[in-house]
Structures are given as C-alpha cells and as structure tokens.
Amino acid sequence: MTSTHTLNRRMLLQATTLGLSSLALPRLTTVAQTPAPVDEITIDLSSEPASLAPSQVYEVNGWSVVHSIFDAPFEYDSNGQMIMVAAESLTQVDDMTFEIKLRSGITFHDGTPLTAQSLVASYQQIVNPDTGSSIAGNFSTITAVDAVDDLTARISLNAPSPWLPAQIAVWMLCLPPSAALATDTSNQPVGTGPYSFVEWKRGESITLAANPNYNNPAKGKPIANRVVFRFVTEAATRDADLQSGTAQIARSVPPDQIKQVEDSGAQVMQVPLSCVAFVRIATDVKPFDDVRVRQAINYAVDIDAIRKALLADTGQRLPNLFVPDGMGFDESLAPYSYDPDKAKSLLSEAGVSGLSTTIAATNSERKDLVEAIAGYLSDAGIQTTVEVQEVATFNGQWTDPSAPPLRYATWRPMFDPFNLLNLVFSEKGFLSRHKNPDIQALIDQAAVATDPATRAGLYQQLGKVMYEQPAALYLWDVTALYGTAAGLNWSPRPDDAIVPTLR
C-alpha cells in the first residue's frame, strides 16, 4: 500500500515537473528537477527476446533489454544525429580507419573498468562464426579492431564504410573483454548500461536492477530501481495490464484502444521511429518481374486511407524506402497516388489478368494492415490472400522462390539506409530477390562515398530510380504507440527499444 502510494505521488511529481499538461494538474516547477526513481516498474514487451547477446538480437523487444544492460559507443537521436554514449568521440582518421575513444571512469556492473578491449571483444563476438550472428555481414569490411591505448579502439577497413557507425550503434555494444570468445552471453549478461541483469524467467519475464551510478547524458538516468520486462504477446492483454496498473509501460497500443487507455487515466505516447514499412515484391518471378505490375501495385492501394483508419493518422505515405529525417529522403518527390484505374490499365498493358497472389506477414505484425492492403490489391484485380507466419518461418523465406511473392515488413532502425538496401534490394544481399543494374550501381557507389553530402545525393538519386522502378509497395514511416502509466516519464528512442531511462 505504502509503496503504491509513494509510487503514485512520485510519478505525479515527475509529471508535473516535466509539464505533462494533459494531466491538468497544477505545475510545481519548484520541485527538484531529477526525481528519485520509483521502486519497480513493469514493462510489457510484445514477445520474448531470443537472446541477450547483442550480436544475436535483431528485433525491438530484445533491443529493449539489451540496450538497458549494455551501452553502445554512440547512438542516433530522432533526427538521425549521432550522440555519444559510452564513447567520447568517433574520429574518421582516413577513408579506411575509424577511431573510437571511450569515456574514462565507466565501469561494468561487476566493477571492472571499461576499456578499448571491450570493443575488440564485441567485434570478435560478432564475426566469430560459432556465434552464428546474422549481422556478421554488416561488419565484413572491417579487417581488424585493435586497442590503440586503454580507451581508444581503432577500426581498420578494407573499403570505405560510411554506413558502419550505424551498424556499430545497434550491434557492437560494449561487452566485457571476457565475452570475446563466448558464443552466447545470454545467461549472465554484464554491461555498462543503466540496468544490470538480475534474472530471466524463460517464457515469463526478465528482471533488471538499476545501475545506481549511471548517469549518461545520452541515455539519462534509470527511472526505477527494478524493472520487470514481461512477454505479453496479446495487445489487448498489454492494455488491460496498463489499465489495471499491472504494467507501467506497454508496447504497441492498437490505435482502436487509444481512447480506452486514455479514459483509464494512462497515456499513449506517439513516437516517430526510424522505421520504414513496405511490402517487398519478389521481382524474380512472373509477373512481378514486369515493372508495370509493380507500379500497378503501388497505384492500387490507398495508403493514406489505411494510415488514417488503422494507424491513427500517424506517419506519411512514402515514395520509396527513405524515411523523413533520414539520409536520402527527398521532400520534392511525391509518393504514388491512389489511382485504381491507373493500376488496372497498367496491369492490362502488362498483359496480366486474373492474377492471384499471396502476401506473407509475421504474426508479430498487425494482421489488419496486411488484410487492408490485400483488400485493395484484390479490388484492383490482383486477388491477394494473406498468409500469417511464425517469425522464424518468415525470416527463413526471404529468398525462398516458393514463398509468397509479397511480404509485408517493417525495417528498423533506418539510421542509415545502407543496411536495408544492401540486404534486401542489392543483388548481393542475403535477403534479396532483386536484381536491377541501375539500383545496384547506386547502392554500390553510395556504400563507399565517404562525403555525407555526396552520399545523400546518391541516395536521393537512388530513391528516384526506386520510385520509378519500384521493388516494393512503398508504405509509410512507422510511429510507435506506447502506453504509459499516468505521470510516468521516460525517454523513448527512435529505434523502438524501450529503455526505461529519463534524459
């Protein structure tokens, strides 16, 4: 009873301090600016992380826990600007060399000091074939990571890799040097982050404890002494948890439940993410090899109607894969319009009639969005059925020629467009079924362009080509809807990881 009471009072103080005027409470601006953390909060994730080893985590629920325990040398803010976390600086010595200088005085949860060996270990874990990390390829231009001195790590490359920092921010986190040769550090992860690991009850929850000395300007301070991440796959259950006070933060509130959540006194935070939604079209099978069919698909779907009806009018329709505030976004390029007649005439021009196809999506995505897309395609004459798959099945079928030709995907983070382009739309990508010499040339040029302005220009050029010769049905940039207990304040991140800290 007392603890609940304290919790609420503190939360209210925090809320008023930070001016959450929606609560319509008197502002007490004289209260201390850094409120003491609450005792415990519960966060409802939408699935259980597959691993807690940073090199093995490729989705947001895993990242939520991983970025709570570990620090990246640097991260990206919502404007795509790099912010230093465990590092003090990132220097591009020349086209083939990066140097990361870590902050001094940082210690791991077990008390050992953070040194440059940490990044060496992190790199080794990523490229060690025994760990089987799916993102080892993102680090393939690295020839060596060496500790130059106690706090400086030098990254040597065999090709200019301006997109590498965006990979480091997500996967090359500061690991203890002992993790260098470990294949899985999931069971007892030790990092330098705002929370230390307590326990993982498989199938149920992960508990972390606040790192009391943690105060990083980039990530802020822990907001609770204990954090319990629970795995709640059902959106309705997460919202019920939020409304009953069982959870204080819940991922992915369905837009239809915003009102209900708000009526219960909790809040819904809308946070634009560095994330793009699209329907990848397999361009290596008939009739999708015909660019007119792909254009028809882009004309056939009323993306804005879907956004308004099913996404609470968040995000915007995109002309290609480049996201607003990200590199390569071109404001002057208008997205496809909704023009079902044009879609039909393009289809008949291509000699396509009576086409039926399948669109695949994982069971962690929203089925209604995919059904709406399939509905519009069917109306335009492409009979489309929806196939909902397990995440593992879906991920195993990116290049499977017998898999559904259309696949709905959301890709994050888009700190740097290289990752998505290189993996999914380049003929070299291990997730790709796309081959287009115009696109390939631009992807390859941009990959080695070290001057940011040149690179942005190349990506805008690429964006135009990808608009004219679509390789996907381009959808929208994704906005996260987090449910948060009244008065609880935390700093959301553009990568959609829930790290319960406050800057």
| Residue 347: alpha-carbon gap to chain centroid | 35
Which of 273, 386, 421, 458 binds other proteins (CB under 8 A)? It is 386
DSSP 373-404: HHHHHHHTTEEEEEEEE-HHHHHTTTT-TTS-
Residue 423, helix vs strand vs coil: helix
Would you say 222 or 404 has its CB closer to other proteins? 404
Would you say 338 or 415 has its CB closer to other proteins? 338
Residue 47, helix vs strand vs coil: coil
The Cα–Cα gap between 219 and 392 comes to: 32
Does position 473 interact with other proteins (CB under 8 A)? The reply is no
**CB of 259: closest distance to other proteins in angstroms?**
7
Residue 216, helix vs strand vs coil: strand
Site size for other proteins (CB under 8 A): 27
Does position 376 interact with other proteins (CB under 8 A)? The reply is yes
**CB of 235: closest distance to other proteins in angstroms?**
6
**CB of 492: closest distance to other proteins in angstroms?**
22
Task: Look up tokens 């270990």; give the residue.
Answer: 121
Contact segment (CB under 8 A) with other proteins among 342-350, 364-372, 408-416, 485-493 equals 364-372
Contact segment (CB under 8 A) with other proteins among 124-132, 326-334, 338-346, 361-369 equals 361-369
Which of 372, 380, 475, 499 binds other proteins (CB under 8 A)? It is 372
Does position 142 interact with other proteins (CB under 8 A)? The reply is no
The Cα–Cα gap between 51 and 413 comes to: 19
The Cα–Cα gap between 26 and 28 comes to: 6
* Residues 250-289, mask of contacts with other proteins (x by CB under 8 A): ----x-xx-xx-----------------------------
Which of 284, 325, 368, 444 binds other proteins (CB under 8 A)? It is 368
Hey, what are 353's tokens?
A: 């009639």
Contact segment (CB under 8 A) with other proteins among 99-107, 187-195, 301-309, 442-450 equals 301-309
* Residues 389-408, mask of contacts with other proteins (x by CB under 8 A): --------------------
Which of 302, 477, 495, 496 binds other proteins (CB under 8 A)? It is 302
The Cα–Cα gap between 414 and 275 comes to: 6
The Cα–Cα gap between 306 and 379 comes to: 15
Within 10 A of 336 (CB to CB), how many other CB atoms are there? 22
Subset of residues 94 to 133 that bind other proteins, contact rule: CB under 8 A: none
Give the CA diameter of the chain: 72
The Cα–Cα gap between 489 and 263 comes to: 18
Does position 385 interact with other proteins (CB under 8 A)? The reply is yes
The Cα–Cα gap between 74 and 490 comes to: 19
Does position 503 interact with other proteins (CB under 8 A)? The reply is no
* Residues 303-322, mask of contacts with other proteins (x by CB under 8 A): --xx-xxx------------
**CB of 347: closest distance to other proteins in angstroms?**
19
The Cα–Cα gap between 32 and 361 comes to: 47
**CB of 395: closest distance to other proteins in angstroms?**
16
- Residue 447: name the closest of 458, 433, 436, 437 by CA: 458
**Alpha-helix runs per DSSP H in 29-94:** 60-69
Hey, what are 338's tokens?
A: 């909704």
Q: Which residues bind other proteins (CB under 8 A)?
A: 234-236, 254, 256-257, 259-260, 302, 305-306, 308-310, 363, 367-368, 371-372, 375-376, 378-379, 385-388
